[in-house]
């Protein structure tokens, strides 16, 4: 009888690879990488999710509800330009920049007459040491051509040399005897200490005052003034206060202009615009103009 031959498979001839035992951690799943979302405790994820909801809610309110809330509330004073105007002020004005785009000055000039005539227009001229507002030259010319009392302001950047900023503004804003004094807009600290910020602001004010021969107007918010520019030296400058959505100015010191809302609607300007009042009469406003 022929002898049976046993054919071994290739697998049978190979050594079995050692079976690696899985740890208890790997049997349950891959270990989360440190720093990943899965590694976070559940309570921390809930806290972060809650903070995100709060952040988005505050942002939605600030940009989409807040500007219109002042319009919706009951008005016990004068209603004009889409908002409730502060009582007891007869001289109204606006301030503009490139954010208002191309303005229809012919339509805007019609607002010089009527129940709440717009008398003055402040416009942004410069920012920092080299940023020119792209619409300044046109706005500055058109404001004069259409009979508005005009003014120009500089947006202060604390990190940039104050003298450089002052000289840039002087080169840009050719104010004459019919214009309002130059304006310094201070809104941020730029990481500077209070004393450093005050020195820089005073440097700009001194340089510009020497050039134009008149004290510049200082623009800043109610809270910023009290916190950072509360030195008595700054009280010697005409103050333009930014204080929105309130019925009266809470600042106890002297002030000349009040920017009371950023939600005004004025014919000739697309979108919202800042509304202001002058704390005095038309002749008082005229007395501020450069000589």
The answer to whether the Cα torsion of 229, 235, 240, 241 is positive or negative is positive
Cα within 13 Å of Cα(228), Cβ side: 24
The active-site residue, picked from 90, 141, 187, 196, is 187
Specify the DSSP class assigned to residue 216: P
Say which residue the tokens 């007395």 belong to: 287
| 187 is an active site residue | yes
- CA-derived radius of gyration, the chain: 32
Do 139 and 123 touch, CB atoms closer than 8 A?
Answer: yes
Do 103 and 133 touch, CB atoms closer than 8 A?
Answer: no
State which H helix or E strand residue 263 sits in: strand 257-264
- Write down the number of H helices and E strands in the chain: 10, 11
Do 141 and 103 touch, CB atoms closer than 8 A?
Answer: no
Q: Please, which residues bridge with residue 257 across strands?
A: 240, 278
Do 182 and 217 touch, CB atoms closer than 8 A?
Answer: yes
Tell me if residue 40 falls in helix, strand or coil: coil
Cα within 13 Å of Cα(115), Cβ side: 6
Q: Please, which residues bridge with residue 274 across strands?
A: 95
* Residues tagged active-site: 187
């Amino acid at each position: 009888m022929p002898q049976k031959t046993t054919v071994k498979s290739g697998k049978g001839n190979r050594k079995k690879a050692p079976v690696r035992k899985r740890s208890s951690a790997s049997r349950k799943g891959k270990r989360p990488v440190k720093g990943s979302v899965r590694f976070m405790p559940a309570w921390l994820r809930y806290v972060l999710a809650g903070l995100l909801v709060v952040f988005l809610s505050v942002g939605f309110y600030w940009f989409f509800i807040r500007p219109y809330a002042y319009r919706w509330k009951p008005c016990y004073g004068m209603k004009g330009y889409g908002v409730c105007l502060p009582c007891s002020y007869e001289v109204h004005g606006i301030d503009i920049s490139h954010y208002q785009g191309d303005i229809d000055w012919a339509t805007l000039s019609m607002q010089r007459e009527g129940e709440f005539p717009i008398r003055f227009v402040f416009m942004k001229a410069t920012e920092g040491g080299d940023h020119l507002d792209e619409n300044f030259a046109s706005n500055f010319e058109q404001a004069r051509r259409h009979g508005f009392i005009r003014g120009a302001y500089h947006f202060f950047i604390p990190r940039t040399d104050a003298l450089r900023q002052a000289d840039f503004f002087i080169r840009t804003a050719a104010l004459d005897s019919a214009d309002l004094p130059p304006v310094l807009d201070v809104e941020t600290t730029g990481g500077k200490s209070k004393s450093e910020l005050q020195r820089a602001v005073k440097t700009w004010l001194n340089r510009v005052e020497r050039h134009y021969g008149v004290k510049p107007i200082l623009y800043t918010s109610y809270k910023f003034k009290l916190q950072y520019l509360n030195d008595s030296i700054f009280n010697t400058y005409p103050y333009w206060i930014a204080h929105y959505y309130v019925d009266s100015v809470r600042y106890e010191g002297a002030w000349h202009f009040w920017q009371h809302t950023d939600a005004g609607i004025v014919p000739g300007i697309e979108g919202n615009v800042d509304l202001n009042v002058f704390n005095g009469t038309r002749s008082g406003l005229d007395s501020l103009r450069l000589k």
